[in-house]
C-alpha cells in the first residue's frame, strides 16, 4: 500500500470549494461600508476637542482699540429684504474699479440673477470682479450657467473656499460663513444675509423669508490720500486677501464649457434681465452716485472681528472677543442670535457674565418659528441649561424666522455673520463689525426693541412671561414628530452644529 492513499486525495479534491468570482456589486458591498465608516470618522473625530484661545492672542488683544475715535466711516443699518437687494444692485452699479463679493450661499434664483446681471454689466464697464464662495455651496449650486457666464470673463474670477475632497472627509466641515460686498475704496455691505431669495428682495412669500441685518459702511475719505487710513474697509480688504490667497481657495467656473450654448443663452438672459430691472426702477442704476452721507450715521470707530481662516478646528477668536467686550459692559448687554448651541465652556462664560449683575438679554428663535431643524432640536434638549446660566432668554415668535446676528454692549453695536453656536465658534470663518459711537448704536437698539415686541421671556420653571399681543405658537407639522427624535440623536454631533 502506498502512502498517502488515493482515496484521501480524492476526498480533499472533493472538499475544495470553487473560487469566489468578484463582481462590481460584491466589491461595492465590501468596500462601501468601510468607506462610509472612514468618512464618518474622518468628518467627526478631528473636531471632537475644540481649541481654546492662545495665550499670545489674549496678550495681544487690546480693548482700547475699540474705543478709538477719528474714523472716516459712516454707517446705516439695512433690515428690509427689498432694501437689502436694492442697495446691493446700487452699489454694484456705482463700482468704478473693483468689486469683491464674498458669500456663504449663492443660488440661481430671482435675486441671484438680479445681482449677477448687475455684475455682468459692471464687467462690461471694465470693473475687476472677485467672487469668493464657500466650497460646499459652490459645488452644490455652481453648476448653473449664469455663474459660468461671469466666470469665463477675463476680468472676473470666482474662487471656492475649501471645496471638499470626499477622499479627505475632514474637509467637509471648514466652511466660509462670511457675507460681504466691497466696492472700490468707498462702500462696504456686511452682515448675515446669503445671496438668494429668502434673504433678498420680495420674490418669495413672507413665510419663507428670513429677517436679517446688513450694515452699509461709507468711507467718506474715498478717493483721497487718506482713503485707507481710518476706515474698516482696509481691514476687510486685508482679510479678504488673506482668504483669497490661502491654499484653500481655488479658481472655479473659469473653464470654457463643453457646450457653450447654455452659457451664451444665460448671458443673454442676464442682459435682458438687467434691461428690465433698469426700466422698472431707473434709480437702481442711476449714474449719479447716491448721497451716502445723508443716508448714514456717523461712527467714531469700526473694528473687524474675524476667526482664523484654516479649515480645521479654529481658536474661537470672535466668540472670545465678544465675551471679553461683554465682560467690560457697565450698563447692558443684548445679544441677538438665530440659534444657541453651546458647549460647557460657553455656558460657563455666559454664567460669568450674568453673575456680574449687568443686565444680559439674549434673543433667539422659538423652535416653532426657527428654520434650522438641527439647531432647534438642540435647543429643545438643552433649553434648561441655557436658562440656568442666568441670562434672560427671549424667544422670537414673529411672522417668520429671524436670521439676525447682532449685539448691543453699552454704546457699542455689533453686526455680522456669527451665530451663537459651536459651528460659528470653532469651525467656520466668521466676521463681525464692532461700532463705537452712539448714533449707530441707537439705530440698532431701536430696531432690536422693535423685534422684542414679538418675543417672550422664557422662564426656568417652564412657560413664558405673558405679553399682550404675543402668542405662544405651537410646534406643528414635521417638527412635532421630529423634535422628540432629533433632539436626542443630534446630541452625538452637536459640536458640528
Shared domain for 422 and 470, answered yes or no, is yes
Residue 2 included in any domain: no
Q: What is residue 257's predicted lDDT score, i.e. its pLDDT?
A: 78
Residue 393 included in any domain: yes
- Residue 104's alpha-carbon distances to 108, 170, 374, in angstroms, are 14, 19, 18
Structural domain harbouring 211: 74-294
Q: What is residue 413's predicted lDDT score, i.e. its pLDDT?
A: 98
Q: What is the pLDDT of residues 8-62, one digit of tens each?
A: 545 555 555 566 667 777 777 888 889 999 999 999 999 999 999 999 999 999 9
d(CA 289, CA 286): 7
d(CA 110, CA 187): 24
Which residue, 265, 294, 323, sits at the end of a domain?
Answer: 294
Q: What is residue 16's predicted lDDT score, i.e. its pLDDT?
A: 58
Q: Which alpha helices (H) appear in 304-428, and where do they start and end?
A: 317-326, 344-355, 373-387, 422
Q: What is residue 248's predicted lDDT score, i.e. its pLDDT?
A: 97
Shared domain for 134 and 239, answered yes or no, is yes
What DSSP letter does each residue of 238-276 carry, written as one string? HHHHHHHTSTTEEEES-SPPSSTHHHHHHHHHHHHHHHH
Asked if 434 and 217 count as a contact pair (C-beta separation under 8 A), the reply is no
3-state secondary structure of 37: helix
* All cell numbers assigned to 100: 469683491
Using N-to-C axis directions, what is the helix angle for 110-124 and 81-94, rounded to 10°? 10
| Spatial CB neighbours of 394, under 8 Å, sequence gap ≥ 6 | 361, 362, 363, 364, 452, 455, 456, 457, 458
Residues of the chain with pLDDT under 50: 1, 9
Shared domain for 343 and 251, answered yes or no, is no
Shared domain for 213 and 267, answered yes or no, is yes
Shared domain for 380 and 272, answered yes or no, is no
Which residue, 278, 294, 310, sits at the end of a domain?
Answer: 294
Give φ, ψ of 176 to 5 degrees. Answer: -100, 110
Shared domain for 175 and 287, answered yes or no, is yes
Shared domain for 285 and 334, answered yes or no, is no
Residue 60 included in any domain: yes
Q: What is residue 11's predicted lDDT score, i.e. its pLDDT?
A: 53
Which residue, 252, 270, 294, sits at the end of a domain?
Answer: 294
CATH number assigned to the domain comprising residue 453:
3.30.870.10
Residue 32 included in any domain: no
Q: What is residue 437's predicted lDDT score, i.e. its pLDDT?
A: 86
Q: What is the pLDDT of residues 144-158, one digit of tens each?
A: 999 999 999 999 999
Q: What is residue 255's predicted lDDT score, i.e. its pLDDT?
A: 86
Amino acid at each position: 500500500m502506498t502512502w498517502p492513499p488515493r482515496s484521501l486525495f480524492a476526498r480533499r479534491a472533493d472538499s475544495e470549494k470553487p473560487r469566489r468570482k468578484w463582481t462590481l456589486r460584491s466589491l461595492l458591498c465590501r468596500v462601501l461600508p468601510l468607506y462610509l465608516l472612514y468618512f464618518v470618522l474622518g468628518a467627526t473625530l478631528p473636531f471632537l476637542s475644540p481649541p481654546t484661545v492662545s495665550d499670545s492672542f489674549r496678550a495681544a488683544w487690546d480693548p482700547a482699540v475699540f474705543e478709538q475715535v477719528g474714523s472716516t466711516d459712516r454707517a446705516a443699518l439695512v433690515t428690509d429684504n427689498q432694501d437689502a437687494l436694492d442697495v446691493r444692485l446700487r452699489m454694484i452699479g456705482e463700482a468704478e474699479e473693483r468689486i469683491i463679493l464674498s458669500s456663504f450661499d449663492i443660488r440661481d434664483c430671482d435675486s441671484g440673477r438680479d445681482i449677477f446681471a448687475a455684475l455682468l454689466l459692471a464687467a462690461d464697464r471694465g470693473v475687476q470682479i472677485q467672487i469668493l464662495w464657500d466650497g460646499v455651496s459652490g459645488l452644490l449650486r455652481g453648476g448653473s450657467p449664469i455663474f459660468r457666464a461671469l466666470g469665463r470673463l477675463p476680468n472676473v474670477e470666482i474662487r471656492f473656499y475649501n471645496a471638499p475632497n470626499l477622499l479627505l472627509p475632514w474637509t467637509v466641515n471648514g466652511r466660509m460663513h462670511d457675507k460681504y460686498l466691497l466696492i472700490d475704496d468707498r462702500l462696504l455691505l456686511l452682515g448675515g444675509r446669503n445671496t438668494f431669495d429668502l434673504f433678498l428682495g420680495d420674490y418669495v412669500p413672507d413665510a419663507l423669508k428670513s429677517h436679517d441685518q446688513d450694515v452699509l459702511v461709507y468711507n467718506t475719505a474715498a478717493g483721497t490720500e487718506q482713503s485707507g487710513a481710518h476706515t474698516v474697509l482696509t481691514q476687510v480688504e486685508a482679510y479678504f486677501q488673506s482668504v483669497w490667497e490661502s491654499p484653500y481657495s481655488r479658481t472655479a467656473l473659469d473653464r470654457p464649457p463643453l457646450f457653450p450654448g447654455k452659457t451664451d443663452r444665460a448671458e443673454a438672459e442676464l442682459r435682458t434681465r438687467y434691461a428690465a430691472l433698469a426700466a422698472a426702477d431707473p434709480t437702481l442704476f442711476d449714474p449719479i452716485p447716491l448721497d451716502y452721507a445723508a443716508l448714514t450715521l456717523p461712527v467714531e470707530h469700526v473694528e473687524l472681528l474675524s476667526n482664523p481662516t484654516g479649515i480645521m478646528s479654529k481658536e474661537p477668536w470672535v466668540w472670545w472677543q465678544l465675551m471679553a467686550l461683554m465682560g467690560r459692559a457697565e450698563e447692558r448687554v443684548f445679544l441677538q442670535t438665530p440659534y444657541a448651541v453651546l458647549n460647557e465652556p460657553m455656558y460657563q462664560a455666559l454664567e460669568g457674565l450674568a453673575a456680574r449683575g449687568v443686565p444680559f438679554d439674549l434673543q433667539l428663535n422659538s423652535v416653532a418659528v426657527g428654520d434650522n431643524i438641527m439647531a432647534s432640536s438642540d435647543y429643545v434638549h438643552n433649553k434648561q441649561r441655557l436658562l440656568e446660566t442666568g441670562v434672560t432668554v427671549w424667544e422670537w415668535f414673529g411672522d417668520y424666522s429671524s436670521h439676525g446676528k447682532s449685539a448691543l454692549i453699552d454704546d457699542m453695536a455689533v453686526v455680522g455673520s456669527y451665530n451663537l453656536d459651536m459651528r460659528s465658534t470653532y469651525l467656520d470663518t466668521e466676521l463681525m463689525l464692532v461700532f463705537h459711537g452712539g448714533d449707530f448704536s441707537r439705530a440698532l437698539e431701536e430696531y432690536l426693541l422693535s423685534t422684542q415686541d414679538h418675543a417672550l421671556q422664557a422662564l426656568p420653571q417652564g412657560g413664558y412671561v405673558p405679553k399682550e399681543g404675543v402668542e405662544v405658537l405651537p410646534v406643528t407639522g414635521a417638527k412635532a414628530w421630529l423634535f422628540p427624535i432629533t433632539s436626542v440623536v443630534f446630541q452625538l454631533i452637536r459640536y458640528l452644529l
